[in-house]
Structure 1
């Protein structure tokens, strides 16, 4: 019997790291942990990396780059270098890294399976790219389409400081941010949705722990001539018909952002006015599920060749 693959989470004490660790208990893998007192000790981390088949990086961007350099040094020293799944934004558009959104294209699961370096997608890009990429691939949305994205997330996506701010008495009910229009997820969205121009992206945070809605308004007359609202639904349905994690659902007049909290799936919808002149595309997901640790488990399962199941 083959030994279970070993996974080391560098940064397992953070929000995403803790979520991934909990989900890993459902997979046939062995988790290698460093003594909490030595978690920031470079030597202890290198030793853990050398023991692992896969290292999951749940670190800030600069720390992730340093960790990747540690792994590369192992190979330089003639030691076994593990595969890497990085959850930061550091490598999501980097050459030599495979983007960890299995539903991106028909070939993406195979690419992730074969890759030694995979970047886990961001929460907002997961919803935006899921809606946009199929339309660009189908030719109904031109790459130079003027894309606007609005989104609201649960506050757990903002890290420890935002969680503390939101959970104190009198925390803000709604927070609009990123109004310099330079959010760190923009390069990722533009690149993997195959857009020529940077979208106008306005994110926000609501006074609820987890959940997310990404919405994209569409003036139908700006799409390929003759494109109907039903065409948009059919394109999305065809793209995700075989997915266990992405579902195209019936349009609704209201959506609750945290309805999928604790789940790893994502729901896509096409809403429209009666005349079919305008539409709004929406993606609903858990920012810590399909938007982070749930996606990580999908990628880990592909990279190690084990069954991911599905979190509900």
Structure 2
């Protein structure tokens, strides 16, 4: 059986990436409207009604408008924007996060695709909170960096014009739109201090979680933290552990863990580094912000919703 998938917003960064993945997907027929029709609400609504599933690749306001439009049909939706990620009527589309989430996605008519930074943060945090290692009242800091494609077509144009700095921090009001999502699904009482940055590379992402043993509820080693994460994500999906090696062995060339090391891959890789001499830990999530951080996750959720192999059409990496 071939399923019909409507990409609403196929001209944007995420929409183009979704379309690229669906073009190599053997089980779906991807549909999009022409440039002349894509702002025609009647044509969009008709396409939603005629498709097995619609993926919204739109800004937040437009995604809310599209959702209202879809309410007049039987359309199943995956929303790649941040508009519905903490909405009670939407299922959060991070299949690997907790037990039962994959089943909830499979049964849902409204699925909210996770944000790129929250995907990394939640993968590092939620298993440790559930295991009682990180206390629920922990006060965490999360430095992170993304490639400039995370800023969409506007930032891509900035970079092309030479107007983008080599590295720049943003979200300095400490009110980034990803924070409600991070708090809602981490199992924490307090939102983290989130310090995002953008750098002059197209795609890729590192999400950092520094921890000191004094922050934890029990005495653990780096291997303990690695094993906790590995056990949590031991199953189907697209979250993997980097090999538990000595720190230098796990680093890439020139002693650098490259933020763009998983470009064009749809999985996420978690690493744990430790210094037993000072009881410090450094946890890292590495992913492609356009892969597991956006379009890859949308296709994974689509597959689950349609009862297909969740990695179909995706790059599993090496």
Name the TM-score, length of structure 2 as normaliser.
0.92
Residue of structure 2 aligned with 1:290, choices 289, 292, 306: 292
Q: Which runs of structure 2 are paired with 1:143-162 in the superposition (5 Å)?
A: 143-162=136-155
CA RMSD of aligned residues (A): 1.3
**Runs (4+) of structure 1 moved beyond 3 Å?**
250-253
How far off its partner does 1:244 sit? Answer: 4.2
Cross-structure match for 2:127: 134
Cross-structure match for 1:64: 63
Could you tell me which runs of 5 or more consecutive residues in structure 1 were left unpaired when the two chains were aligned.
75-80
Cross-structure match for 1:77: none
Could you tell me which runs of 5 or more consecutive residues in structure 2 were left unpaired when the two chains were aligned.
none
Most deviating of 215-224 and 22-31: 22-31
Residue of structure 2 aligned with 1:264, choices 266, 279, 285: 266
Residue of structure 1 aligned with 2:172, choices 161, 170, 179: 179
How far off its partner does 1:276 sit? Answer: 5.5
Cross-structure match for 1:228: 221
Aligned residues of 1:228 and 1:276 also touching (Cα < 8 A): no
Cross-structure match for 1:43: 42
In 2: Cα distance, 1:178 partner to 1:35 partner: 35
Number of equivalent positions:
304
Cross-structure match for 2:257: 255
How far off its partner does 1:305 sit? Answer: 1.3
The secondary structure found in structure 1 opposite 2:96 is helix
How far off its partner does 1:198 sit? Answer: 1.3
Cross-structure match for 2:192: 199
* Correspondence 1:169 to 2:167: no
The secondary structure found in structure 2 opposite 1:256 is coil
Name the TM-score, length of structure 1 as normaliser.
0.94
In 2: Cα distance, 1:157 partner to 1:177 partner: 12
In 2: Cα distance, 1:72 partner to 1:164 partner: 35
CA change 1:115–1:46 in 2 (3 A) is same
Cross-structure match for 2:52: 53
